[in-house]
Amino acid sequence: MEDVVVKESKARIFKQLLLGLAGLVMGITAFVFPADSHDKMFLVGGIMFTVAGVYYVINYTIKLFSEKLILIIGKDGLTLKSPYGFIPWKDVNSFKIAPFRMVSFWGTYPVYGEEPFITFNFSNFKGRYKKSPNFFVIRFLTADMKTKEVYEILKERQADYLKRVSLSEKEPQQ
């Protein structure tokens, strides 16, 4: 069974880069050409959009020219691009698709469409990495595969692992 490699998609990264450029242009426009010289909100909004746009442009330009792996799904476990590295299936308690939630003045609400996150709950994680929580979130916003595809592969590989473990336990000990 081949390992499944989830990489960042250049097309999706470029789309995010264009969003950053749009924010940068909007911020500079609001900052340089305020609607009214007495309106401080345009100045504040211009500064915020300019800072966010610069961040997006720098971040996604770097991502565009670097080859990044997001996740490798193998028969024996997961390899994350984080400093955690390889995590065996025996340490993965559960995982699920997490809906994207917007936070507003009125509270949080889900945004429908592509859910860009999968959350993992681990056992034994605290022992291996003392400062880490027992969960990990992977963002698939720029991945070359859809979140649901990755989720189905994860379910399939974990089921295969559990089947192999249960068969090895049933074999008589010699």
Q: Where are the domains of the chain?
A: 10-64, 70-170
Q: Quick one: average pLDDT of 36-48?
A: 73
Residue recorded with tokens 């007495």? 38
In 4-146, which ranges are continuous DSSP H helix? 10-32, 40-64, 125-128
- Using a 10 angstrom Cβ sphere, with 0-12 exposed, 13-18 middle and 19 or more buried, the burial of residue 104 is exposed
| pLDDT attached to residue 28 | 82
Helix, strand, coil percentages for the chain (3-state, nearest 5): 45, 25, 30
* 146: confidence class by pLDDT, cuts 50, 70, 90: confident
pLDDT at 57 over 60: yes
Contacts of 44 (CB under 8 A, 6+ apart): none
Q: Name which residue leads in pLDDT, 64 or 102.
A: 64
pLDDT at 12 over 60: yes
pTM: 0.69
Average pLDDT over residues 12-37: 80
Residue 40: predicted pLDDT: 74
pLDDT band, very low/low/confident/very high, at 115 (cuts 50, 70, 90)? low
Instruction: Please state whether beta strands 86-88 and 92-98 pair in parallel, antiparallel, or not at all (unpaired).
Output: unpaired
Q: What is the 3-state secondary structure of 40-77?
A: HHHHHHHHHHHHHHHHHHHHHHHHHCCCCEEEEECCCE
Q: Given its phi and psi angles, is residue 7 left (phi above 0), alpha (psi -120 to 50 degrees) or beta?
A: beta
- In terms of CATH architecture, what is 70-170? Roll (2.30)
pLDDT in tens, 95-104: 888 766 555 5
pLDDT for 129 beyond 70: no
Q: Among candidates 134, 146, 59, which has minimal Cα distance to 92?
A: 134
Query: Residue 58: what pLDDT?
Result: 92
| pLDDT of res. 35 | 64
Between helices 10-32 and 40-64, what is the axis angle to 10°? 160
Name 107's bridge partners. 104
Confidence of residue 107 (pLDDT cuts 50, 70, 90): low
pLDDT range class, residue 48, cuts 50, 70, 90:
confident
As a whole number, mean pLDDT of residues 127-134 equals 55
Q: Which residues have CB under 8 Å from 108's CB, separation 6+?
A: 101, 102
The pLDDT, as a whole number, for residue 152 is 92
